[in-house]
Amino acid sequence: MNVDSLREQLPAGSVVTDPDTMEGYRRDSADLVPPGKPLAVLRPTTVDEVSTIMRWATANSIVVVARGAGTGLAGGATALDGCLVLSLEKMTSIREIDVANQIAVVEAGVVNADVGRAVAQHGLFYPPDPGSFEVSTIGGNLATNAGGMRCVKYGVTRNSVLGLEVVLPDGRVLHTGARTVKNVAGLDLTHLFIGSEGTLGVITSATLRLRPRPTSTATFVAGFADLAVGGQALNAIFASGSVPSMLELMDNATINAVEDYRRMDLDRDAALLIIGQADGDSALAEAEAIAELCETHGAEFAMATDDPTESEMLVQARRLAGWATMEQGPTVIEDVGVPRTRLAELLERIHRVSADTGIRIATVGHAGDGNVHPMLLLTDLADADEQRRALVAAENICSAAIELGGTITGEHGVGELKLPWLEQQVGSTSMDVQRRIKAALDPAAIMNPGRGF
């Protein structure tokens, strides 16, 4: 297929076919999903240009894979052979910040952290903060319904979105939701597209819900010599009625990966480290109460602080976990969730999976909402046996999460990597309903086929 007719309809530079340039757009961050060779990479700057691309793709039956920053971990933005990779990287306008109504209208290519910086000067903040928030874009966050460390109090991406602008496969532009906090007019199409992983349309902008910046923040940390004891302390926090703004965990392998990467003075012998924050007028008192609760339930040490420097150091240790682990070599970052009171059971199951498969696994995660990221540490992606054992480990971790009443993905999405296990969780009836919705919106099946469901 020749893309010259599409090139004629778009501004110069929008259509890229140079193989060396396209190479940087073929992969996302899922190492186990092999990338295809795209027909072209498209870099539109306006909604009208996205509409033109989608009309051309539909008329010519060409598959479209929408792409943000490529930080996805499930293969949902990996190129397919002969596809158009539609990059939203140049749609970076913050169209509006409405301080009185506490909303921002931003385009899909805006980096998550840039939203936070833009609204901070108005005394506001945008809660969703995935680990890649300094790199990942709002469009990618929306496509996967990304979460982050503040989910325990503020929810995932969909909890901070009031409406969307979406270009449908036939080129029409759909506006969903409203600028109001309450809106029950018609079906909830906003939430239908959030988390749809580019399979139903191309999200080009969103109306985001902002919140007042907390008046104060305090941080707490607790270390445990035993996973089960740490799990009991977490259950005590859950039962206490306290709602920290952050409640994270790191296992021993992760603690040591961080210390190897950068000295943070973490306890290398701890089996489990809990790091969290409280925000609001009584932040320090709440953080101290949680630290005391951890001590009561067997912590080797626990402390709380509202000193900004100490707090930043502790939170930075958690934020470094993924990057530090990936520095050790090829890494497959899993994403599963369970009812949070069953976290200790899940961690024990993950340790057994590691022993059974011979794959080293370091686990970090969001204890506050039961979502963890077991990171499979490999030595050679070209080693067929190691790759096979890694896939077995990933499958067993997903099965364990389901058996414990959980999910195969809490925030990374299904993509291509987790598609084989989706029906095991949701069932055949749900799969049928999802496919019918897909067929209604994308009858030609050109939107990221083989991903999401």
pLDDT bucket at 336, cuts 50 / 70 / 90: very high
pLDDT at residue 453 above 90? no
Quick one: tokens of 175? 């506006």
Give a yes or no: residue 385 inside a domain: yes
Same domain, 98 and 187: yes
**Mean pLDDT, the chain, as a whole number?**
96
Q: What is the pLDDT of residue 448?
A: 98
Nearest 5 degrees, angle CA 443-CA 445-CA 451? 135
My answer on whether 229 and 314 are in the same domain is yes
Q: What's residue 266's pLDDT? A: 94
| Mean pLDDT, range 167-171, rounded to an integer | 98
Task: Count Cβ neighbours within 10 Å for each residue of 198-226 and write b for 16 or more, e otherwise.
Answer: bbbbbbbbbbbbbeeeeeebbbbbbbbee
Q: Rounded CA gap, 317 and 147, in Å? A: 18
The total domain count for the chain is: 4
Burial of 429 (0-12, 13-18, 19+ CB in 10 A): exposed
Confidence band of 382 (pLDDT split at 50, 70, 90): confident
pTM summary value: 0.94
Q: Are residues 338 and 428 in the same domain?
A: yes
The tens digit of pLDDT for each residue in 258-291 reads 999 999 999 999 999 999 999 999 999 999 999 9
Rounded Cα distance, 280 and 292, in Å: 19
Q: Could you tell me if residue 23 is inside a domain?
A: yes
Arithmetic mean of pLDDT, 367-371: 96
Residue 357 has pLDDT above 90, yes or no: yes
Q: How far apart are CA 268 and CA 254, in angstroms?
A: 9
Beta strands 64-67 and 84-87 are: parallel
> How far apart are the two ends of the chain, measured CA to CA in Å?
27
Provide, rounded to the nearest whole percent, the portion of the chain with pLDDT above 70: 100
Residue 326 has pLDDT above 90, yes or no: no
pLDDT band for 31, please (50, 70, 90 cuts): confident
Taking residues 252-260, what's their average pLDDT? 96
* CA–CA gap between residue 422 and residue 401 (Å, rounded): 12
State the residue range of the domain holding 307.
215-323
- Whether residues 81 and 106 share a domain: the answer is no
93-124 confidence digits (pLDDT tens): 999 999 999 999 999 999 999 999 999 999 99
Planar angle of CA 385, 389, 395, nearest 5 degrees: 145
Residue 42: predicted pLDDT:
98
Mean pLDDT for 304-315 is 94
- Rounded Cα–Cα distance for residues 424 and 399 (Å): 8
Domain boundary among 274, 298, 323: 323
Whether residue 78 sits in one domain with residue 98: no
| 447 is a domain residue | no
Residue 381: CATH number of its domain = 3.30.70.2740
The answer on pLDDT for 337 being more than 90 is yes
Same domain for 188 and 254, yes or no, is: no
Q: Does the residue 317 lie in any domain?
A: yes
Q: Residue 329's pLDDT band (boundaries 50, 70, 90)?
A: confident
1: pLDDT confidence band, cut at 50, 70 and 90? confident
**Are 276 and 151 a contacting pair, CB within 8 Å?**
no
Q: What is the mean predicted confidence (pLDDT) over 43-53?
A: 98
Tell me the per-residue pLDDT of 178-218, one tens digit each, with 9 for 90 and over: 999 999 999 999 999 999 999 999 999 999 999 999 999 99
| Confidence (pLDDT) at 296 | 97
With vertex at residue 395, the alpha carbon angle to CA 392 and CA 397, rounded to the nearest 5 degrees, is 110
Question: Using an 8 Å Cβ cutoff, are 97 and 122 in contact?
Answer: yes
The pLDDT, as a whole number, for residue 32 is 85
Question: Is 445 part of any domain?
Answer: no
